[in-house]
Amino acid sequence: MTKPLILVTNDDGINFIGIKKLKEAVEEFGDVYVVAPDAERSAVGHAITITTPLRVNEIIEDGQLFGYAVNGTPADCVKLAVSQLLPRKPNIVISGINPGENTAMNVLYSGTVSAATEGVIQGIPSVAVSITSFKYRKYDLAQKFIKSLMKELLEKGIPRGTLLNVNIPPFQEQGIKGVKIARHGNGRFTEAFEKRTDPSGRTYYWLGGKRHPSYEDNDNDDTLVWQGYIVVSPIAFQLTDEKALKPLKKWSITDFNG
Amino acid sequence: MTKPLILVTNDDGINFIGIKKLKEAVEEFGDVYVVAPDAERSAVGHAITITTPLRVNEIIEDGQLFGYAVNGTPADCVKLAVSQLLPRKPNIVISGINPGENTAMNVLYSGTVSAATEGVIQGIPSVAVSITSFKYRKYDLAQKFIKSLMKELLEKGIPRGTLLNVNIPPFQEQGIKGVKIARHGNGRFTEAFEKRTDPSGRTYYWLGGKRHPSYEDNDNDDTLVWQGYIVVSPIAFQLTDEKALKPLKKWSITDFNG
């Protein structure tokens, strides 16, 4: 039996500790290939590179091939891996481990999730893994959970077009409260640009922001992860706003004939 | 009564003809502000700029302020406009006019749609307008349709969180077949990277691709626009895959306790 092929990627770049820990965690489950950006590509959303060429460099660690570095976005890495670099179509795409949560509306900006989005667009079961802290340096808990998830994913599968978005709380020392399967929340960041003056006296703006919790109820990724649960949210890109179709059909624009 | 404030943006840059034609089309409906990238930012998806500062420059045309150029992405432009540059929250965000369709899975990569996505994240009714041709140079039909749409949008409104994604066929000379309100399709591009060698002998890859029509039925944006209809698709970012929640709750990962 052919071993599963697992594509590992991220948005923090191939040299980031998180992707090394992710590779370690999934190694026992199949043939693992790493294809990742050559440097940080955070908050790139689902960007792809169409106006410039992509380059690929082999990254060697301890005399062995660690993976391929691409001068592109996470979505570029998945596209290029699937169509050019891997020996066959991957069975799983897994992206991370990202420092900083990717919950609620952050998901739309996230490079980590974008790699998994590209995976599901290509018809491959895909996972994004984030830890809700920028200061996190211990990955044992995350690795243990990833192993537990991989086992189930390979055994049970997920529907075509679904990605699993995993967020892990930063409370490793105290232990976690448990694992929740929950909805993708609608919380967002309130923008707070700082208006500053540079050393030459010119104005510039820098994007900051305050977390704005999801307002619907407690069954969502960003409320639960801050309560101390590991949260797994199934995400699909069925973007049609079904409830808006009917009222729109009554607009007089439908009579327009140029 | 205060006139509606209309924010106009795009992903092709503030100097592109499409945004000038869009501004012209909406001018009669309110106070129009243009805040757009200083240069092309196509296929940037929902990228935002968090690691570098943003700069704003006034663009003067015929001795008058045309708009503000930002060294960032379409989503940056909307964020910065709403929080720093405009006198009040806009009533409408409208993005375009983009050369090239933004239908089906292209929507996820699109900078044009991303600006409208940021609009709805900010709670503002938002519209993205694209024309299904890169060679299009006449904008009269598009402008006429935008006027017809703006009238209805200001009168009837759309639900919070819904954006209208408009695609216009390139068959202006023969006239259009009509206007359809339709679903967001699931067609995608099949990747076809070209592997080439540069003048120094190094390999590079360049992303191309072939359109892959939506496979469900005919009630979708990309099938209909190629049949010659103007298509308006309501889009919302309710990303939870509801049908996947229940089976996932049976996975043994829920027993995981670190």
- Residue of B11, B80, B57, B75 whose CA lies nearest to A205: B80
pLDDT at A50: 84
Amino acid, res. B32: V
A189 located within any domain: no
Alpha-carbon distance B132 to nearest alpha carbon in chain A (angstroms): 16
- Determine, yes or no, domain membership for A205: no
- CB count within 10 Å of CB B208 equals 12
Interchain contact B192–A (C-beta under 8 A): yes
Residue A239 placed within a domain: yes
Q: What is the number of CB-based contacts under 8 A between chain A and chain B?
A: 255
Which CATH number fits the domain that encloses residue B174?
3.40.1210.10
Contact (CB<8Å) B258/A50: no
Is there a domain that residue A22 lies in? yes
Say if B141 is an interface residue toward chain A (CB within 8 Å).
yes
Cβ pair A249:B181 closer than 8 A: yes
Residue A211 within any structural domain of the chain: no
Closest by CA position to A36, among listed A95, A104, A92? A95
Residue B188, chain A, CB below 8 Å: the answer is: yes
Asked whether the beta carbons of residue B234 and residue A245 sit closer than 8 angstroms, the reply is yes
Q: Looking at beta carbons, which residues of chain B come within 8 Å of A193?
A: 54, 79-80, 83-84
Please name every residue paired with B234 in a beta bridge, in sequence order, or none if there are none. Answer: B164
Whether the CB of A230 is below 8 Å from some CB of chain B: the reply is yes
How many angstroms separate the CA atoms of B157 and B216, rounded? 29
Contact B188 A240 (CB under 8 A): no
Model pLDDT for residues B14-25, shown as the tens digit of each residue? 999 999 999 999
Report how many domains make up chain B. 1
What is the structure's pLDDT at A256? 83
Q: Using CA atoms in the order B65, B67, B70, B76, what is the torsion angle rounded to 10 degrees?
A: 150
Per the structure, the complete domain to which residue A64 belongs is given by: 5-184+217-255
Q: Which residues contact A120 (CB under 8 A, 6 or more apart)?
A: A126, A160, A161, A162, A163, A236, A237
B234 lies in a domain?
A: yes
The answer to whether B45 contacts chain A (CB < 8 Å) is: yes
CA distance A141 to A216: 29
Q: Best residue in B205, B219, B252 to probe A by mutation, most A CBs within 10 Å?
A: B205
Ramachandran assignment for A176, one of left (phi > 0), alpha (psi -120 to 50 degrees), beta (any other): beta
Q: Which chain A residue has its CA at the smallest distance from B166's CA?
A: A253
Set of chain B residues whose Cβ sits within 8 Å of the Cβ of A236: 239-241, 244
Per-residue pLDDT of chain A (258 residues; tens, 9 = 90+): 689 999 999 999 999 999 999 999 999 999 999 999 999 988 888 888 888 899 999 999 999 999 999 999 999 999 999 999 999 999 999 999 999 889 998 899 999 999 999 999 999 999 999 998 766 667 889 999 999 999 999 999 999 999 999 999 876 656 788 999 999 988 766 667 889 998 889 999 988 777 666 656 688 998 999 888 999 999 999 999 999 999 999 998 977 876
Per-residue three-class SS string for A146-160: HHHHHHHHHHHCCCC
User: Strands A56-61 and A31-37, how do they pair?
Assistant: unpaired
- Phi and psi, residue B16, nearest 5°: -75, 145
Please tell me which residue of chain B has the smallest CA distance to A183: B240
**Tens digits of pLDDT across chain B (258 residues):** 689 999 999 999 999 999 999 999 999 999 999 999 999 888 888 888 888 899 999 999 999 999 999 999 999 999 999 999 999 999 999 999 999 889 998 899 999 999 999 999 999 999 999 998 766 667 889 999 999 999 999 999 999 999 999 999 876 666 788 999 999 988 776 667 889 998 889 999 988 877 666 656 688 998 999 888 999 999 999 999 999 999 999 998 977 876
CB B35 within 8 A of CB B81: yes
Q: CB-based contacts of A98: which residues, under 8 Å, 6+ apart? A: A10, A11, A12, A18, A110, A112, A128, A129, A130, A131
Tokens of B10: 């795009």
pLDDT of residue B156: 94
Rounded (10°) angle between helices B17-26 and B140-156: 50
DSSP codes, B164-228: EEEEE-S-TTT---EEEE-BPP--EEEEEEEEEE-TTS-EEEEEEEEEE--SS-S-BHHHHHHHT
Per 3-state DSSP, chain B is made up of helix, strand and coil in percentages (nearest 5) of 30, 30, 40
DSSP secondary structure letters along A99-167? ES---TTHHHH-HHHHHHHHHHHTT--EEEEEES-SS----HHHHHHHHHHHHHHHHH---TTEEEEEE
Token duo for residue B65: 């302020």
Assigned domain for B163 exists: yes
pLDDT in tens, B229-245: 999 999 999 999 999 99
By C-alpha distance, the chain B residue nearest A249 is B181
Q: What's the ipTM?
A: 0.89
pLDDT of residue B11: 96
Asked if A194 has any chain B CB less than 8 Å from its own CB, the reply is: no
* B45 with A47: Cβ contact below 8 A: yes
H/E stretch holding A222 reads helix A221-227
Model confidence over B142-152: pLDDT tens digits? 999 999 999 99
Helix (H, G, I), strand (E, B) or coil at A192: strand
Note whether A84 contacts B195, CB cutoff 8 Å. yes
Instruction: Give the minimum alpha-carbon distance from B63 to chain A in angstroms, rounded to a whole number.
Output: 23
Could you say which of B145, B148, B159 has the minimum Cβ distance to residue A244?
B159
Pairing of strands B178-181, B229-236: parallel
**Contacting residues of A for B54, CB less than 8 Å apart:** 193, 204-207
The answer to whether A49 faces chain B, any CB pair under 8 Å, is: yes
Contacts of B51 (CB under 8 A, 6+ apart): A40, A42, A43
Mutate to test the interface with B, among A205, A217, A249 (most CBs of B within 10 A): A205
Does the residue A197 lie in any domain? no
* Window A:64-123, CB contacts with B under 8 Å: 75-76, 79-80, 82-84, 105, 107-109, 114, 117, 121
Q: Give the residue from chain B lying closest to A240, CA to CA.
A: B235
- Residue of A183, A240, A254 lying closest to B184 (CB–CB): A240
Dihedral angle of Cα A57, A58, A61, A62, to the nearest 10 degrees: -140
Q: Look up the pTM and report it.
A: 0.92
Residue of B231, B239, B252 for testing the chain A interface, max A β-carbons within 10 Å: B239
